[in-house]
């Protein structure tokens, strides 16, 4: 068995695949090394929900047979990965991060897992998550069957939710990439807090068949990885129409960096107040430096305002209406009381009381939002904002309360609602690590028009070619 160098635990997908093809080690060697590392270190960050060690070794042996025959399936062949524990894996528990579902077993694989298996990627484990992906709202990071997600940069801080394990596992070098999900921030937030690159795809681009539903009209699956290029390569494989997902857009995605528009032709809308006032004081130097890099690339940064809508209220109403319907059996059975977070229990129960007229009003408002956002992208190509305006919170800090001594908020809202707006309109977003504050990661988010992933990835590739934040690793 070949010894896997320690640096490879943080290597991008492209490097791992190239070295596999060069026969420096076998796919079985790589799967064993990553799987054992995930088993050993995953619990340090409460990131591991289920090891699939034996399954990974079997799959890797099949990859080795193919490589010996010269059968190449693409850049993910032989590369280990993990998935958030809301994706079904046949014959093994899929807990949704929640005690009431601890023994739940499906007899099929999620479409995303099937697609990755078809190109030779090797699943080594299922990764921890906030219970029910945060459905009902939760107050503390401990709202999970596996305990609070611990940040690899500082285990006294949160790794973010609800894809806590996916982000932490990539940041800690436990998997080269992972699949997470977002309904309203669950890819953007943990990627920002853990200092990894991540992509929230356009709504409907990636099949959710086999994934826990939290909101039929908001849920999206996407990759966490080390580089923007990796995210593009992964999306290339997991995107595509699926008749088993009623929300499928019926579109494929082809990662085509060679055809990217010149950056000097792109107009990027942003709000100065986001970086100068809304961002925590300690993060501002990192954001300023990142803006300097983006401007030097030729991008045209133009001050922009978001259309004026109650984004948070609209999203909350839609989410509550759909979530209440989805989890009605759990709520009415009384098993909802087994969840770890009391505010989340209360939120789920309250969702059953939402009047249909309120849901319908929110859906009509959402259509107006989508129309106005489309007009906005007639003036700019991309929107830019902090991934999060703060560093990761302390584990004992309530998530619904600002830290003591926090300054009063600015009067100008800037892009504070960009996560809610982006999810209501089904927009793609790319998270890019861009520095540190108080020894914790800071990140940017780029948001594009529907199906504009290649534009976001082109900006991300260029940014990462001039910076090394995505190569930093926790000690």
Q: Which domain holds residue 139?
A: 6-257
List Cβ neighbours of 89 (8 Å cut-off, separation of 6 or more): 50, 52, 83, 106, 109, 110, 113, 123, 126
Structure tokens at 362: 């929110």
What span, in angstroms and rounded, lies between the C-alpha atoms of 399 and 173? 27
Mind listing the pLDDT tens digit for each residue in 122-153?
999 999 999 999 999 999 999 999 999 999 99
3-class DSSP assignment, residue 270: strand
In a domain, 283, yes or no: no
- pLDDT per residue as tens, the chain (475 positions): 678 889 999 999 999 999 999 999 999 999 999 999 999 999 999 999 999 999 999 999 999 999 999 999 999 999 999 999 999 999 999 999 999 999 999 999 999 999 999 999 999 999 999 999 999 999 999 999 999 999 999 999 999 999 999 999 999 999 999 999 999 999 999 999 999 999 999 999 999 999 999 999 999 999 999 999 999 999 999 999 999 999 999 999 999 999 999 999 999 999 999 999 999 999 999 999 999 999 999 999 999 999 999 999 999 999 999 999 999 999 999 999 999 999 999 999 999 999 999 999 999 999 999 999 999 999 999 999 999 999 999 999 999 876 655 668 899 999 999 999 999 999 999 999 999 999 999 999 999 999 999 999 999 999 999 999 999 999 8
In a domain, 140, yes or no: yes
**Whole-structure pTM value:** 0.97
In a domain, 42, yes or no: yes
In a domain, 357, yes or no: no
Report strand pairing: 197-200 vs 429-437.
Answer: antiparallel
Q: Are 232 and 74 in contact (CB under 8 A)?
A: no
Q: How many Cα neighbours within 13 Å face the side chain of 314?
A: 24
In a domain, 440, yes or no: no
**In total, how many domains does the chain have?**
1
In a domain, 372, yes or no: no
Q: What radius of gyration do the chain's Cα atoms show?
A: 21
In a domain, 370, yes or no: no
Mind listing the pLDDT tens digit for each residue in 339-377?
999 999 999 999 999 999 999 999 999 999 999 999 999
In a domain, 319, yes or no: no
Residues known to be catalytic? 84, 162, 186
Specify the CATH number for the domain of residue 120: 3.90.1300.10
């Amino acid at each position: 068995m070949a010894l896997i160098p320690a640096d490879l635990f943080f290597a991008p997908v492209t490097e791992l695949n190239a070295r596999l093809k060069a026969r420096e080690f076998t796919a079985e060697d790589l799967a064993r090394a990553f799987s054992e590392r995930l088993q050993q270190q995953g619990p340090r960050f409460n990131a591991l929900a289920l090891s699939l060690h034996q399954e990974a070794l079997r799959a890797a042996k099949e990859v080795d047979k193919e490589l010996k025959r010269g059968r190449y399936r693409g850049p993910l062949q032989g590369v280990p990965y993990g998935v958030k524990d809301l994706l079904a894996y046949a014959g093994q528990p899929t807990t949704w991060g929640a005690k009431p579902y601890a023994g739940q077993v499906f007899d099929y694989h999620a479409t995303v897992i099937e697609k990755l298996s078809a190109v030779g990627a090797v699943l080594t484990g299922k990764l921890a998550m906030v219970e029910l992906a945060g459905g009902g709202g939760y107050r503390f990071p401990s709202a999970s069957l596996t305990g609070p997600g611990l940040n690899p940069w500082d285990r006294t801080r949160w790794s973010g939710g609800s894809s806590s394990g996916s982000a932490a596992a990539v940041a800690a070098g436990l998997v080269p990439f992972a699949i997470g999900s977002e309904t309203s921030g669950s890819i953007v937030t943990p990627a920002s807090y853990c200092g990894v690159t991540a992509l929230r795809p356009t709504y409907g681009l990636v099949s959710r068949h086999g994934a826990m539903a939290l909101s039929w009209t908001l849920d999206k699956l996407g990759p966490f990885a080390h580089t923007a290029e990796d995210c593009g390569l992964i999306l290339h494989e997991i995107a595509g129409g699926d008749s088993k997902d009623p929300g499928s857009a019926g579109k494929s995605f082809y990662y085509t960096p060679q055809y990217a528009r010149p950056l000097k032709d792109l107009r990027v809308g942003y709000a100065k107040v986001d970086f100068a006032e809304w961002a925590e004081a300690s993060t501002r130097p990192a954001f300023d430096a990142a803006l300097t890099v983006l401007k030097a690339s030729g991008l045209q940064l133009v001050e922009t305002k978001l259309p004026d809508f109650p984004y948070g209220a609209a999203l909350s109403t839609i989410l509550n209406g759909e979530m209440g319907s989805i989890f009605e059996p759990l709520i009415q059975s009384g098993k909802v009381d087994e969840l770890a977070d009391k505010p989340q229990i209360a939120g789920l129960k309250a969702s059953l009381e939402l009047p249909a007229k309120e849901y319908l009003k929110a859906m009509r408002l959402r259509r107006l939002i989508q129309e106005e956002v489309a007009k906005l992208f007639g003036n700019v190509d991309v929107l830019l904002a902090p991934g999060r305006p703060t560093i990761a919170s302390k584990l004992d800090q309530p998530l619904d309360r600002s830290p003591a001594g926090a300054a009063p908020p600015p009067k100008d809202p800037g892009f504070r609602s960009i996560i809610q707006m982006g999810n209501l309109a089904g927009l793609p977003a790319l998270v890019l690590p861009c520095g540190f504050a108080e020894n914790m990661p800071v990140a940017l988010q780029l948001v594009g028009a529907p199906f504009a992933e290649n534009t976001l990835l082109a900006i991300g590739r260029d940014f990462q070619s001039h910076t090394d934040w995505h190569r930093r690793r926790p000690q």
